[in-house]
Amino acid sequence: MPKALLLENLHPHARTILEDAGFDVTTRTGALDESELIDALDGVALLGIRSKTQVTADVVAHAPDLVAIGAFCIGTNQIDLRAAASLGIAAFNAPFSNTRSVVEIAIADIISLTRRLTVFDKEMHGGIWNKSATGAHEVRGRTLGIIGYGNIGTQLSVLAENLGMSVVFYDAAEKLALGNARRAATLDELLEVADVVTLHVDGRPGNAGFFGAPQIARMKPGSILLNLSRGFVVDPAAVRDAIVSGHLAGAAIDVFPEEPKRKGDPFESELRGLPNVILTPHTGGSTEEAQEAIGQFVAHKVRDYLATGSTTLSVNLPNVALDQPPGVHRLAYLHRNVPGVLANVNATLAEHGVNIEGQLLATRGELGYVVTDAGSPVEDALVDALAAQPEAIRVRLLS
């Protein structure tokens, strides 16, 4: 039985799906550091993680049995995707499954901060009755600035307009505006007009330190900042200074540059204890509904890859959508994308007397992926011959 290791308290559906597919599944609740992960991956074909586990180049180099990594979350910046691909390890994520959960917590944060509910709640729990409208506003008629107009940003845009907000967005790529949303030509243009600024950018290295003191200074006095994207995008010290000075009226932060690895570990941040600041433990996409959907989606993707070779929605390998016709013997050949590979593959098949029933080739940058269905059993000698090709990365006989 192939082994699967699932970390970080993934939804039970993931384990059930993989066990039903014939995997020997081990689960752990927390993340592992690099040395622990290397030891734990001995003999493991499939690794399932969330955002805390760092799958480095050194980790995959010490995991010769690893075939696929499932990131049960949106981001994949915790995985060295290039190193994994170079060793024939496919990676999959869940780019859409928790979109609604993130959007809903953003709406909740916007309303809570604009109405100063955090301040009222703290005072009431302290036995202070302070009925006042000072500093509390309706969100209707206010302007929401969305930085990053992807799956989350666009859905948030629609719901915010339904609340009566005006929406302006900024994205480095060309994006179609939904509803009455307006595209800002520059980031500064957005910051100058937005009453609420919310960040929904991805985890690419270029976004590190993207939003710091200069950007916060350009925001409107009394505005509100949300970061539900990546911890390294926003400078928390700059947020603290802006809250203390009164330049920002509030902030909601769900992600942090340094986060505890395990539930119950201590959390330290310069943002603790500040007025009208909502801190949540990276739970923007953590609803029971989202975690169930993610568990099913990613588990199905990695299961199908190991069983059929299908790489649909893989984030680091060429994408090939494949059915599994009956009565064929499938070879999956991941290789460096150089001229003549397909001719060499087919010549090798012919030398071993294998008739091709079907074949698909896809490329992605430096990588190529050929899946061949043979009409007769495939001998180990053929697999060895393909693996010996100079451009070969990984050869798998699937059936």
Q: Assess whether pLDDT exceeds 90 at residue 90.
A: yes
Q: What's the average model confidence in pLDDT over 147-153?
A: 95
Per-residue confidence at 95, pLDDT binned at 50, 70, 90?
Answer: confident
User: pLDDT tens for residues 40-51?
Assistant: 999 999 999 998
Threshold 0.95, pTM exceeds: no
**CATH top-level class of 318-399:** alpha beta
For 1-98+288-317, CATH number out of 3.40.50.11610, 3.40.47.10, 3.40.50.720, 1.10.10.10 equals: 3.40.50.720
Q: How confident is the model at residue 375 (pLDDT cuts 50, 70, 90)?
A: confident
pLDDT in tens, 101-127: 999 999 999 999 999 999 999 999 999
Please give the mean pLDDT across all residues of the chain: 95
CATH number of 99-279: 3.40.50.720
Q: Distance (Å, rounded) from C-alpha 147 to C-alpha 160?
A: 14
Catalytic residue list: 230, 259, 282
3-state secondary structure 133-192: CCCCCCCCCCEEEEECCCHHHHHHHHHHHHCCCEEEEECCCCCCCCCCCEECCCHHHHHH
Which of 2-6, 61-65, 73-77, 132-136 is predicted with the least confidence, judged by mean pLDDT? 73-77
Q: What are the boundaries of each domain within the chain?
A: 1-98+288-317, 99-279, 318-399
Mean pLDDT in residue range 18-38: 95
Same fold flag, 99-279 and 318-399? no
